[in-house]
Structure 1
Amino acid sequence: MSDQTKRQNEENAASVPKADTLTPADRYQELFIAVQMGCVFSDSKTFVDCVPRGDPEDILEQYREQCDDDGFDLAGFVHANFEPPQVHTSHYKSPPGQPLKAHIDSLWDVLTRHPRQHPPNSSILPLPNDYVVPGGRFAELYYWDSYFTMLGLAESGRHDLLASMANNFAYLIDTYGHVPNGNRTYYLSRSQPPVFALMVELFESNGVCKAIEYLPRLRKEYNFWMAGAEEMRPGDARRHCVCLDDGSILNRYWDDRDTPREESYREDVLTARKSDRPAHHVYRELRAGAASGWDFSSRWCDGPELSTIRTTSILPVDLNCLLYKLERQICLLNHAVGQRKQAEKFQQRAEQRKQGIERLLWNAQAGAFLDYDFERASPREALNSATAAPLFIGLASREQAHRTAQALRDRLLCEGGLGTSELDSGQQWDQPNGWAPLHWMAIRGMRNYDINADDIACRWLRTVGTLYKKESKLVEKYVVTHDGDDAEGGGGGEYPLQDGFGWTNGVTRRLLHEDPGNEANQAKAASKS
């Protein structure tokens, strides 16, 4: 990164207005509850993304003065005082005949947001540089989505956006001490799978920056995930950390709040009512599930019902592999700058984590890495595609990698690609859906060990390409339980299928580049009927 670029980035960061971190629930109090429980908008995320037309305190005061009046119209009051976000789904479709790769390349500007689009008194957290959003209802930056999106930006030659994104993530860590789930105030209490170390590698390999420039931010993110670990004793669980019986630490997903998610307020209240646990316990588990990025999945539950969710009791394979990667990255960068003692400390931490993963998460009987329920001292026997994470990170032994690859094929590979889990629960991170990031981790992970993954890549690209030829768009997730020739978008979960779509674009663009002979490279948007 040139000195001029550094100065420009510093100037951009300095010009960002100080964020008002009040969440919509904090700001609008009983008005917020009335709107969300009263279903003023069909999607709970709409209200939390609204922009107030006047001073928020004045709006709340007006509501308190009027709400008990005979004939008070809540919906009318809200529409008079708030501007809902616009979702331009039509922008995500290709003109007839446009090739798939060209469609993806053309979408980056459509999905790019600019700092000047950050209105005051809204839930958006301002950023200094342009950034790419997933699309549809997701009109903000998302943490782990962005890594997979960046794979496509790199292949499209959009190093300008890569550089902007790099500095946005650095800014978030500098400002908030971690990368929030997304750049919204209601996401500040949690993060997502920690992929910043992977991002930094991608930035350096594409000449955007030197990885060493981000060492302070990598350390700061690590401190967020490990806060309180030094004082823990065997059997303790505190925030993201769980202290094992030998004194080593593994991690879990966590959210610092135990209230309903503001973007899914009514849904969480109704879910908690189905449980015999205290409501705030259920809210914490739902929030932790959202922090995982797998919101939601039977992976976190005691069966198909979401009300049985127990995310904070589970040591996830993918999270701990990503933190192992972070520890290794910090170790290597400390070596590079001559900080030998720091490098040795993180080498030791990485080795301890690896031993913990092998002891608790590797399951020789299943021949795969399984999540572990530390409260019940037992593995989670249902396989999910996060089992590929140790291969993706390079932590698995060769024998473990080959056995895991076989388990993926035997238990999760479907006609249209890699399934997410073994259970059809009605949640979106379960059967019959397949997701771009999980395909990338499995394909790249298997290839790291010279295991042929072409069949998985071909099935996924056929699914994506076929739907593109039929509907002229890419979507958030796909049904993979039938042949790719009958491709359709996935379902389940809390909201309708979204078009766009950031990480599908990114992974698909990268896979098309790696296999130029794949027939999906010839896929073209449907002609007008």
Structure 2
Amino acid sequence: MAAMQPPPAMPADGAADLSAADLPPVVLFLPLSPVPAGPTVAVPTADQQDLRPPSIALAGLFAAMGAAHVFADAKTAADAIPDEASDALLADYERQKVRPGFDLKDFVAQHFAIAPRRTVSYRRRPNESVRDYISGMWEVLSRPPDTLVAHSSLLPLPETYVVPGGRFSELYYWDTYFTMIGLYEDGRIDLMRGMVRDIASLIDRYGHMPNGSRTYYLSRSEPPFFALMIDLLAMHDGQVAYTTFLPELQREYDYWMDGADSVAPGAAWRHVVRLPDGTLMNRHWDDMDTPRDESFPQDIATAAQSSRPAAQTYRDLRAGAETGWDYSSRWLADGHSMATIHTTDLLTIELNCLIAHLEQTLSHAYDLRGNKAQADRYATLATARIDAIRRVLWDPKRGAFFDYDWKTRTLSPVLSAATAMPLFLQMATPEQARAVAETMRTKLLKVGGLTATDHVSGQQWDSPNGWAPEQWMAIKGLNQYGLDDLAQQIASRWMERVIGTYEKSGVLLEKYDVVNPSISPTGGKGGGEYPMQVGFGWTNGTLLG
């Protein structure tokens, strides 16, 4: 992507959210460059990949496909592979659509191939344990190194990788870390290392790890877990992992902190926010303000219900997708309506903890390289960030960490399992950790584990649903502070829910209803924009861990 220019001076009132017109242009066609940390990606010399999302490259045709619901799942349209370059296909569409008897579905069937999607169909063998299932699923969910396919939205990867499952048939950012936990436990180190190299290759090519390995994800990322992946790899490969991937760690940090040196107090630029007192923190952001390709009709419908400009709603929907919690009452101003989404107003718990951990990791990597100045610089930045987390995101009355609205200068009313993130990364004080433990025990812990939040909104990242990564980080975070009894309680309840569901269904799922005392073979409540997904990478990985 094109380098971002320093931001202009921002007004002190914080009215600094910018439209796409305010951003520098993006390079739309890029060659795939060699990846220093692993094998290079083979690219046909005759075809450089069009990095525009299909919604831009195919313009009116893509919008028409969404409006007509040509595919039941909008993501199928975003992943479909045209049979010719976008300009030629659009010209053909414009000619044909005015002819009598034109049928859009027939036109799409003629000119698009459905992207290969291996359905997770795993036949449980008699007496097969859940552990056997997980080990067998690595092969089902693995994808070989990619070959660049002309006109496809898939970003090719150089090494074998594991996908989450179901409709998620490409590499996703934060999912990968939790999947890797299981690969590590199962001794699949080569596969785990290859996935780290895949992410490094994306950072090298595009300046950041996208939400997932599709062109339409390039305008945003997801919670930055790359440094934690390096921690995991270093447990096997040793300290050399930090110096090997230092260039990518630095590029990732530069992406998240773009504009930090120039943003004014009380204002924001892309992912960075400077509070009135000068404290620097991060929010989620997407460089585009149009409907998401993978949910095009849904986003248009949401924007139509909003009282704000459509572009603002689209930006916040996209930023909500970058959180990984798509979607939750955490991002909704009224706690339940998607039309009130305001993600870009929020300094989130996880993002700021992960940036602090990235700063700690950079300090460690530079120290290994013998660069004391840089090591000290990043250690100082990490200390300041952790102080901000303890101060800005902490509510002593409610005994938990909360997202902070930097525009209204208030903490969110929504208690979420993300309150455990500062414990997971050892950034809470002992007193805060004990308070968080009690709050989780009384407010979030249910018969099947922790609910995502204490709100019921119909969104999938709310009660009654529980998710594997949140259980894992809470359990490990409590262990870090010696709060082992509650950690064991959460682990036992979650494992009983997941394994109990497996015994009824023969599969592991993306999420689970943890409130209902009865165990459903389908996982219980769904919510969200798509049906329950089977697989499932992070459930498999953390359960095995």
TM category, shorter: over 0.9
Secondary structure of 2:154 counterpart: coil
What is aligned with 1:3? none
1:58 lines up with 2:67 in the alignment: no
The one of 157, 178, 182 equivalent to 1:148 is 178
Q: 2:514 aligned to 480, 485, 489, which one?
A: 480
Superposition map of 1:14-413 within 5 A:
14-16=41-43, 18-116=48-146, 118-207=148-237, 210-302=241-333, 303-413=335-445
How far, CA to CA, are the matches of 1:62 and 1:508 in structure 2? Answer: 50
Partners of 2:191 and 2:511 lie apart in 1 by 24
Alignment partner of 2:480 out of 432, 448, 463: 448
- Structure 1 partner of 2:535: 500
Helix, strand or coil: the match of 1:272? helix
Give deviations 1:413-449, integer Å, cap 9, x for gaps.
1111110011111111111111000111101110011
Structure 2 residue ranges without an equivalent (≥5): 1-33
In 2 relative to 1, CA 246–116 (structure 1 residues): closer, same or farther, beyond 3 Å?
Answer: closer
- The residue type equivalent to 1:460 in the other structure is W
1:485 positional shift: 4.3
Q: Deviation digits for residues 363-397 of structure 1, max 9, x if unmatched? A: 10011111111111111122001100000010011
Aligned to 1:513: none
Percent of residue pairs identical? 46
Aligned partners of 2:35 and 2:41 also within 8 Å: no
Q: How far apart, CA to CA, are the structure 1 residues paired with 2:419 and 2:232?
A: 23
Q: In 2, Cα distance between the equivalents of 1:408 and 1:60? A: 53
User: In structure 2, how many angstroms separate the alpha carbons of the residues matched to 1:60 and 1:229?
Assistant: 40
Aligned to 1:461: 495
Of 419, 422, 431 in structure 1, the residue corresponding to residue 454 of structure 2 is: 422
Aligned amino acid, residue 189 of structure 1: S
How much has 1:88 moved relative to structure 2? 3.9
TM-score by length of 1: 0.92
Q: Secondary structure at the match of 1:242?
A: strand
On the 8 A contact 1:416/1:484 being kept in 2, the answer is no
Counterpart Cα distance in 1 of 2:499 and 2:241: 36
Identify if the C-alpha distance between structure 1 residues 431 and 364 changes in structure 2 by more than 3 Å, giving closer, same or farther.
same
User: Is this contact kept in 1: 2:331–2:342, CA < 8 A?
Assistant: yes
Residues 484/16 of structure 1: CA separation in 2 closer, same or farther (3 Å cut): farther
On the 8 A contact 1:480/1:487 being kept in 2, the answer is no
Q: 1:478·1:487 contact (CA, 8 Å) conserved in 2?
A: no
Give the letter aligned to residue 59 of structure 1.
L
Task: Tell me how far apart the structure 2 counterparts of residues 39 and 14 of structure 1 sit (CA, whole Å).
Answer: 35
Letter of the structure 1 residue corresponding to residue 536 of structure 2: F
SS of equivalent to 2:273: strand
Deviation at 1:19, TM superposition (A): 3.5
Shift of the 54–20 alpha-carbon distance from structure 1 to 2, 3 Å rule, reads closer
Matched residues in 2 for 1:332 and 1:239: separation?
A: 27
Give 3-state SS (helix, strand or coil) of 1:154's partner: helix
RMSD: 1.7
Tell me: CA distance 1:249–1:435, structure 2 relative to 1, closer, same or farther (3 Å).
same
Cα distance change of structure 1 residues 14 and 494 upon mapping to structure 2, 3 Å threshold: closer
Matches of 2:186 and 2:531, distance apart in 1: 29
Which runs of no fewer than 5 residues in structure 1 stay unpaired? 1-6, 511-529
Question: Are the counterparts in 1 of residues 37 and 245 from structure 2 also a CA contact under 8 Å?
Answer: no
2: CA distance, partners of 1:40 / 1:8: 38
User: Residues of 2 paired with 1:39 and 1:387: CA distance?
Assistant: 39
How far has the Cα of 1:484 moved from its partner? Answer: 6.2
- Tell me how far apart the structure 2 counterparts of residues 325 and 394 of structure 1 sit (CA, whole Å): 10
